[in-house]
């Protein structure tokens, strides 16, 4: 140290500097939770240990908007088609994919009246069709989404066809060769004695199937898993308006099935009906 600076200092050790006192809390503990405003504007509190509190939950309103796209019709989705086209097996798969019940009109009939083969033998086809129409009408009157598979001849009833105008209807088609190769003929009274009758029966009923159907799928040209995905996607589109009971009845026996085949992910969203006056059909396969 220079002589001039040493001369300016007082003799003895340097004086101790005062230590500042800690600040006094204004009120409450210093660990009191502090409200924090998140990016969405929702408030939550940071804990005393400095950790983050509960995260703000997304609004319920936004969640409802997301689920609305997958809303299903509030009534039965009906499968129609010729004998042994796969209505029951595919219907069960689609119902499982959608998480809804599966109902079969033939099973309902058997529960109430016994085996169909025996009923045919004892009472004839005319009485069977009358009771079948009653069973179907009772089931269609019930609310709630479910897959409802009809017997091959159910569309012969004018009453049933009229009721189907208020439901989404899927038509499943196949060929006689596929049926004779895979079906249990002994369980089908109309084919048991004359297996070749399948083609003749289809020729008679095909206009009725097409009149009530909204969309058509060929079950002999894709696997059950592929078809289940496609039909499931189509059914989901019907919850956004179709099948709500607000559309008019059939005009001139026609239903809307927009022209255009199914794509890799299933039938186009255009599978939804546009009006029942059109007789154009939606085919699952573009070559149809």
What residues form the annotated binding site? 84-89, 106, 129, 152, 188, 205
Enter the tokens of residue 225. 């898993």
Residues at the binding site for ATP are 84-89, 188
Residue 227 C-alpha from the chain's centroid: 14
Calculate helix-pair angle for 116-140, 105-113, nearest 10 degrees: 120
Residue corresponding to tokens 């696997």: 223
Residue 91 C-alpha from the chain's centroid: 12
Residues at the binding site for Mg(2+) are 88
In sequence order, what are the residues at sequence separation of 6 or more whose Cβ sits closer than 8 angstroms to the Cβ of residue 166?
75, 243, 245, 247, 249
Residues at the binding site for substrate are 106, 129, 152, 205
In this structure, what DSSP letter does residue 264 have?
T
In sequence order, what are the residues at sequence separation of 6 or more whose Cβ sits closer than 8 angstroms to the Cβ of residue 28?
none
In this structure, what DSSP letter does residue 155 have?
G
Enter the tokens of residue 86. 């796969």
């Amino acid at each position: 140290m220079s002589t001039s600076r040493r001369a300016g200092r007082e003799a003895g050790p340097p004086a101790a500097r005062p230590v500042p006192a800690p600040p006094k809390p204004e009120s409450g503990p210093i660990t009191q939770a502090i409200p924090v405003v998140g990016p969405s504007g929702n408030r939550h509190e940071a804990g005393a240990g400095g950790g983050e509190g509960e995260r703000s939950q997304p609004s319920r309103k936004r969640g409802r908007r997301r689920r609305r796209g997958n809303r299903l019709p509030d009534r039965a989705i009906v499968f129609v088609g010729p004998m042994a086209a796969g209505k029951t097996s595919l219907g069960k798969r689609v119902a499982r994919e959608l998480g809804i019940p599966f109902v079969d009109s033939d099973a309902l009939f058997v529960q109430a009246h016994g085996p169909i083969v025996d009923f045919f033998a004892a009472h004839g086809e005319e009485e069977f069709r009358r009771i079948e129409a009653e069973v179907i009408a009772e089931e269609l009157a019930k609310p709630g989404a479910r897959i409802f598979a009809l017997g091959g001849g159910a569309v012969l009833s004018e009453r049933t066809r009229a009721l189907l105008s208020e439901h989404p209807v899927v038509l499943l088609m196949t060929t006689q060769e596929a049926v004779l190769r895979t079906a249990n003929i002994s369980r089908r009274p109309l084919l048991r004695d004359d297996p070749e009758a399948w083609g003749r029966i289809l020729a008679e009923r095909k206009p009725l199937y097409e009149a009530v159907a909204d969309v058509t799928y060929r079950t002999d040209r894709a696997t059950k898993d592929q078809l289940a995905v496609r039909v499931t996607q189509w059914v989901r589109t019907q919850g956004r308006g179709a099948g709500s009971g607000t559309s008019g009845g059939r005009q001139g026996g026609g239903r809307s099935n927009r022209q255009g085949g199914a794509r890799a992910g299933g039938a186009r969203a255009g599978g939804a009906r546009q009006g029942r006056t059109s007789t154009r059909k939606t085919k699952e396969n573009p070559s149809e």
